[in-house]
Structure 1
């Protein structure tokens, strides 16, 4: 599609080119010959161009047609710079732009058309140098490419997060197949679905003694195609070992496949046969960095020997680079181990002082990107961490006594505390109700805080913030709070949606004293190599009020009671919540690692405990 757009764009300029060339000079002059030759060459009307040259018409037509194939060019464009005459001789200087296709740079060079009068008509004096000043008899163009092996996605210690897998590239040595290039391209196209003209162009544009990868297969696809490939005379297969098999967190790292016909047409980028293409996760997001762009040379070859004669132009290509993540293998292994016994769950662990994502886990119906990072789930009383920030700022003491009845109505909204005995309204402190997630007690505080207070605290903890990650993510949402009922629902987390990632950052904010936006990639800075300078900045870190943090730390210590003993790094802090009698949350931290766990029909606190235990026992 990209190639087609280029050709259409080139064709659209022909009318302009013709008008320009026609209007530049007064008759009589050689301008008609110059115009027809260049317009015919540019548009592919080689008969028109050949009619304006003094060489054998068939020879000129073939030379112009071969030039397009030898360069595998998407389009040619020409601009006349000057035309001069001396008697029956003339010279036209022109500027050429050749689009080499496949996202290669534009090849620009200066050319010259010598003309003379033949029987009263101006003709281009034909020789190969008409095509390029350095092209001589017995020579042809070629494009020499050097593809670069895919770079890995690495963890925070620069170790690859992929193991090696094998791809199979079917291709040819052009010198070995001789004049059978069309036959080889036709059969390979029939068996694989790749466009025949593209395969043929790649063969004819390449140096004859160099292996030209035409089609790449994964292992299973290659095994199914091998018998057919073996019937094509001249086709050879080379194995390529590439680090593309994802290791945990697999869905974050992403999958890679060999280039397929539909992908080649859709991408229209630097990818060629022999390349691998990121399909999901970071492999897809950072495709252009991981593959870079191919080193390309335009050269001339001796037709007899096939050896290079001259280097006309060289582009080193954009260097491909590894993508460095913040993933910690030990933390990730602990997440995988903790999730092993669950049915459906998602876990995100972050470094408390930086917001860097250390591990992402998912099990069952959960996906590491779609649910752990980007899922939209009801927060339940796990959101009481954020609500407590607003309440404590409004002088609600953690020691204040609150009743926890089975049911309560606030502003017309009804709340029910699951498991509470009918008629029991035991009074406990705000901290104790926070720790056990008493919905009716927490909702009763709605009149103690304004909508603006709750909204400000939510923003300070990152809810609804426009942070920047290369993968899909969700920072949370809080609706407009226009009544006491709305505020009560927000305090109870009933009208708030969050993701495990967002809640892990909430825990990290209390643990460190500052909310930080999430970080998954430390280098490069942007998935788009062309857009680094225009990336929107990340939200700024937001420090917590020191008094509020002290109070919240004590409240979350109570919320994680029974999960660990000891002090300092051995102590677990957190809050537990149940939502709709189906999902459970644990949001908290231990030492330098903050975590949010969302589990379905399973105790999220138990999974968090297993995670911290596995992490403590890791090397």
Structure 2
């Protein structure tokens, strides 16, 4: 129940007289104080107080009834309360000055608005007396001094700009835009056959667009029709980017039961750019791209048009989100692996100094089995000699000039180790054995290592460590403990129980380049901080022994200048290691290394000799260098 005029007046007078009553009781006694509360004739201050009390209580009828234009006042008061979405109001009367039959009053209105906002300002009104009655002269400025006729106040949201997602080279990879959702109302079809006919029409339009842009999805119309009928209601058939969605809609034309809904979304300017990763990134960073909305209080007409702003708080844009992927590096890697389109070919490129993952590229054949470049597990072959050589230098005090044996075959604890194509170097330097990739040399080194040493050394290069990277699922690999000599023998040249992903071997090369294992990352905020990862390993590895590092780098350089990777020698100062990992019926072709601040690992599953992975990598650098 709203307070009556007499109740409000008593409440207001009681508040105003509280201090006076207390003082009077002391000097004059209780009787005098009670007499001071005796009702007296209405004056200007009474009518103004009643009006403000009613306004404060959101008693629109009561407040407008104190004015000389109750209908207009009621409309303006109600519109302002609603427009401000006000949750409360404090009205404080300061002064009423009367001059004959005209009075002026000053007061403060303090609105309590959504979001714990306070909107406070001073205002004034005029009251006039007609006969014995006072009334508030109604003009909208009673509610706010800037309001004109037919205007009211409204609180409006100022939307924050949605941020782009950019690559490490500044390329925009995700940007605010529209996507189109194709929906079919299954209740409009009497039979599955009718629904299948519609799905075939949709697929024909999709295939037409797909012929010009292979990022446009197609569907199996009969299977989708069965799924849609089983689910019932309105069924989402496909989601398309813009302007492809508009094109498909125009191709399809008007089909009964089919709708195209446009929806705000983060869209990819280049739909073919790392689509799987960017899809996950889009889901992951959605909230990070939304800034804090601002607000403004406007003067609005009865039709809702804003004619001025009386107060505002600017929107705070979201901090930029950076994806470590580089458009230039990713495209070069993708084009390089696509030269082996019939194979499961893949490449991972990262920045050793920061751990930023710059490219993850796979052929469609590899895509069929998932993210093989990041988590596929394969014997690393001779690329693992990076680990074995480092362990030999660190544990057995070898160096690149140490003379070692490289026979064509070597029997170690009953296991016959053979070099690729059974070549032999006789006695040679460790550097040359590494450059020419002598299995027998490194099998003997690893066999003579203490149990667990090879695994420990591998972990020092990031191989076998466990990372959780937002947006990516990765497995670096695993190395056996080496409890028996045979286990150590085979592990020394990347066979037996050794396993690695291209991501893991790229991390190994990044460690050789950087001197310690960097923390691999995909996402960064504008401040440069990596996005929280709940990482199992979120700190860089320990620095490598400088003696080990110097010898390793020299040997990796020799692979390119005079060894098994010489076919890429014209692509700059590359440090690398080739590898062929044998399995029944063939071998995997590996190549890993670094140039400047780029570390890479290339794998062709069942690709044969390492010269094929070297050639893919050469293609990568040729495109990257603009050749």
Q: TM-score range by the shorter chain?
A: 0.5 to 0.7
Instruction: Give the corresponding residue for 1:245.
Output: 269
Cα separation, partners in 2 of 1:64 and 1:434, compared to 1, 3 Å:
farther
Instruction: Give the corresponding residue for 1:442.
Output: 443
Cα separation, partners in 2 of 1:392 and 1:426, compared to 1, 3 Å:
same
1:462 aligns with 2:462: yes
State the shift of 1:298 in Å.
3.0
State the shift of 1:576 in Å.
0.5
Shifted more, 603-612 versus 56-65: the winner is 56-65
1:584 aligns with 2:588: yes
Cα separation, partners in 2 of 1:244 and 1:66, compared to 1, 3 Å:
farther
Instruction: Give the corresponding residue for 2:360.
Output: 360
Cα separation, partners in 2 of 1:65 and 1:516, compared to 1, 3 Å:
same
- Unmatched runs of 5 consecutive residues or more in structure 1: 1-24, 42-48, 100-105, 115-125, 170-215, 231-236, 255-278
State the shift of 1:544 in Å.
3.0
Contact kept? 2:241, 2:267, Cα under 8 Å: no
Work out the CA distance in 1 between the residues paired with 2:113 and 2:486: 64
Cα separation, partners in 2 of 1:555 and 1:222, compared to 1, 3 Å:
same
Instruction: Give the corresponding residue for 1:501.
Output: 503
Contact kept? 2:348, 2:602, Cα under 8 Å: yes
Instruction: Give the corresponding residue for 1:103.
Output: none
Cα separation, partners in 2 of 1:474 and 1:495, compared to 1, 3 Å:
farther
Instruction: Give the corresponding residue for 2:615.
Output: 609
Q: Deviations over 1:541-585 (max 9, x none)?
A: 644334323443455467663432669936663130326457725
Contact kept? 1:352, 1:511, Cα under 8 Å: yes
Normalised to the residue count of structure 2, the TM-score between the two structures is 0.55
Work out the CA distance in 1 between the residues paired with 2:418 and 2:71: 90
Contact kept? 2:375, 2:476, Cα under 8 Å: no
- Unmatched runs of 5 consecutive residues or more in structure 2: 1-10, 17-49, 97-106, 125-137, 182-239, 255-260
Q: Deviations over 1:448-487 (max 9, x none)?
A: 2242x33542332123557685532536254783833796
1:597 pairs, out of 597, 602, 606, with 602
Contact kept? 1:434, 1:555, Cα under 8 Å: yes
State the shift of 1:383 in Å.
3.2
Spell out the pairing of 1:195-594 with structure 2 (5 A cutoff): 218-222=242-246, 244-246=268-270, 249-251=273-275, 254=278, 279-281=279-281, 283-288=282-287, 290=289, 292-294=291-293, 296-303=295-302, 306-318=305-317, 321=320, 323=322, 325=324, 327=326, 329=328, 332-333=331-332, 335-342=334-341, 343-351=343-351, 355-366=355-366, 371=371, 374-381=374-381, 382-395=383-396, 397=398, 399-401=403-405, 432=433, 436=437, 438=439, 442=443, 445-446=446-447, 448-451=449-452, 453-463=453-463, 470-474=470-474, 476=476, 478=478, 481=481, 483-484=483-484, 488=488, 491=492, 492=494, 494-495=496-497, 497-511=499-513, 513-518=515-520, 524-525=526-527, 539-540=539-540, 542-553=542-553, 555-556=555-556, 561-564=563-566, 569=572, 573-578=576-581, 580-581=583-584, 584-589=588-593, 591-592=595-596, 593-594=598-599
Work out the CA distance in 2 between the residues paired with 1:459 and 1:139: 72
Q: Deviations over 1:327-386 (max 9, x none)?
A: 262674255134332322220223455545443321124459973663242443333422
Cα separation, partners in 2 of 1:297 and 1:379, compared to 1, 3 Å:
farther
- Provide the secondary structure at the position in 2 that maps to 1:108: strand
Cα separation, partners in 2 of 1:300 and 1:366, compared to 1, 3 Å:
farther
State the shift of 1:612 in Å.
1.8
Instruction: Give the corresponding residue for 2:189.
Output: none
Work out the CA distance in 2 between the residues paired with 1:420 and 1:97: 78
- Provide the secondary structure at the position in 1 that maps to 2:602: strand
Work out the CA distance in 2 between the residues paired with 1:616 and 1:420: 28
- Provide the secondary structure at the position in 1 that maps to 2:164: coil
Work out the CA distance in 1 between the residues paired with 2:416 and 2:63: 92
State the shift of 1:145 in Å.
3.6
Contact kept? 1:143, 1:297, Cα under 8 Å: yes
Contact kept? 1:92, 1:113, Cα under 8 Å: yes
Instruction: Give the corresponding residue for 1:178.
Output: none
Shifted more, 498-507 versus 61-70: the winner is 61-70
Q: Deviations over 1:173-207 (max 9, x none)?
A: xxxxxxxxxxxxxxxxxxxxxxxxxxxxxxxxxxx
State the shift of 1:299 in Å.
1.7
Normalised to the residue count of structure 1, the TM-score between the two structures is 0.56
Q: Which has the larger radius of gyration?
A: 2
Cα separation, partners in 2 of 1:80 and 1:462, compared to 1, 3 Å:
farther
State the shift of 1:307 in Å.
3.9
Work out the CA distance in 2 between the residues paired with 1:247 and 1:455: 41
Contact kept? 2:92, 2:109, Cα under 8 Å: yes
Instruction: Give the corresponding residue for 1:148.
Output: 161
Work out the CA distance in 2 between the residues paired with 1:563 and 1:227: 52
How many residues of Structure 1 are paired with residues of Structure 2 in the alignment?
A: 481
Cα separation, partners in 2 of 1:511 and 1:151, compared to 1, 3 Å:
closer
Cα separation, partners in 2 of 1:440 and 1:567, compared to 1, 3 Å:
closer
Instruction: Give the corresponding residue for 1:188.
Output: none
Cα separation, partners in 2 of 1:62 and 1:165, compared to 1, 3 Å:
closer
Cα separation, partners in 2 of 1:583 and 1:482, compared to 1, 3 Å:
closer
Q: Deviations over 1:279-328 (max 9, x none)?
A: 433x4444456554555423231226834244232223225647374626
Contact kept? 2:351, 2:599, Cα under 8 Å: yes
Instruction: Give the corresponding residue for 1:174.
Output: none
Work out the CA distance in 2 between the residues paired with 1:229 and 1:61: 51
Work out the CA distance in 1 between the residues paired with 2:421 and 2:358: 42
Shifted more, 58-67 versus 538-547: the winner is 58-67
Q: Deviations over 1:211-256 (max 9, x none)?
A: xxxxx983354467789999xxxxxx999999832277433772xx
Shifted more, 159-168 versus 489-498: the winner is 159-168
Cα separation, partners in 2 of 1:608 and 1:479, compared to 1, 3 Å:
closer
Work out the CA distance in 1 between the residues paired with 2:407 and 2:538: 42
- Provide the secondary structure at the position in 2 that maps to 1:345: strand
Contact kept? 1:155, 1:327, Cα under 8 Å: yes
Instruction: Give the corresponding residue for 2:112.
Output: 96
Contact kept? 1:154, 1:325, Cα under 8 Å: yes
